[in-house]
Structure 1
């Protein structure tokens, strides 16, 4: 069974997908009431699952009548993605940044679910069992090599 964070994420993605503007404004308290949780749970989901690395821009206004605006960032062209990869990955990349990049590519349909899962498995710290900074350097090399093959379809 999925946890509450997964359910909140799915709900927010659904209402975002239905939005004609690729953006949605929500009130923490209303969403918290819907899921019978505390508003800080909504904050947690938004701050961890709706990040810029994952293709979202979040704006928040606190106080009475406050809201959270979640906006989907447009998917770039393949050329822009390739430039972004070379800038983002560089000579080393940590696991969080690499997973964010994979997530963006998957959401933009540059990678299939299977390809994204294979990438995640290949670059995980459980597989790359060497110390830092060597692990981040190996991860960058593996990630770049695999993405070059996968994105030239």
Structure 2
């Protein structure tokens, strides 16, 4: 059985998919009531699963009538992906940011689940058993080379 965080994430993604502009505004309390949880559970899901690295921008207004707006950030067309990869990765990249980029590309349909899993294991800190900053530099070079090969085939 899936946990409450998975259910909330799935619900929000369905809302985003059905919205015309790739954005949704919610109220934490209303969503918490719908899932019979505390509003901090909603905050947790939003802050961990709807990050910029995963392709989302979150805007929040607190107080009476406050809301949370989640906007999906679309990746550039395949033509601009190499530039996006260069900018997103740079000369070095840590594991969390790299996994976020892989997640974003997989969610956008540019990578299969199998390709994403292969990339994740190839750039994992246990696979790249080097000291920092060398590990992040090697991860950046590997990730760029693999993504360009996979995406611009």
Global fold match (TM > 0.5): yes
Cα distance in 2 for partners of 1:81, 1:16 equals: 23
Cα distance in 2 for partners of 1:141, 1:105 equals: 17
Give the deviation of 1:126 after TM superposition.
2.1
The answer to whether residue 147 in structure 2 is matched with residue 150 in structure 1 is no
CA contact (8 A) 2:78 2:152 kept: no
Give the deviation of 1:84 after TM superposition.
1.3
Give the deviation of 1:6 after TM superposition.
1.3
Unaligned runs of 5+ in 1: none
Residue 124 of structure 1 corresponds to 124
Q: Runs of 4 or more off by more than 2 Å in structure 1?
A: none
Cα distance in 2 for partners of 1:144, 1:127 equals: 17
Q: How does 1:1-150 map to 2 (within 5 A)?
A: 1-150=1-150
Cα distance in 2 for partners of 1:22, 1:54 equals: 14
Unaligned runs of 5+ in 2: none
Name the count of aligned residue pairs.
153
RMSD over aligned CA atoms reads 1.3
Give the deviation of 1:11 after TM superposition.
0.8
> TM-score scaled by structure 2?
0.93
Cα distance in 1 for partners of 2:104, 2:80 equals: 13
